[in-house]
Structure 1
Amino acid sequence: MKRKLILAAGLIATLSACGGGRGLMGRDRPDEFAVSRQAPLVVPPDFALVPPAPGTPAAASVDASQEAMQAMFGGPAQRSAAESGTLTQAGRADAAAGIRSQAGDPDTQVVNKGNTTRDIIAAPEGDGQDARAAVPQ
Structure 2
Amino acid sequence: MRKATILFLAAGSALLASCGSTGLLDRERPDEFAVQRQAPLVIPPDFDLTPPAPGAPRPTEGTAAQQAMEALFGGPAQRSAAENNTISRAGESEPGIRSAVGDTQTFSVDKGNTTQTIIAAPEGDGQDASVSVPS
Instruction: Tell me the TM-score normalized by structure 2.
Output: 0.25
Higher RCO, 1 or 2 (CA under 8 Å, sep at least 6)?
A: 1
**Structure showing greater Rg:** 1
TM-score scaled by length of structure 1? 0.25
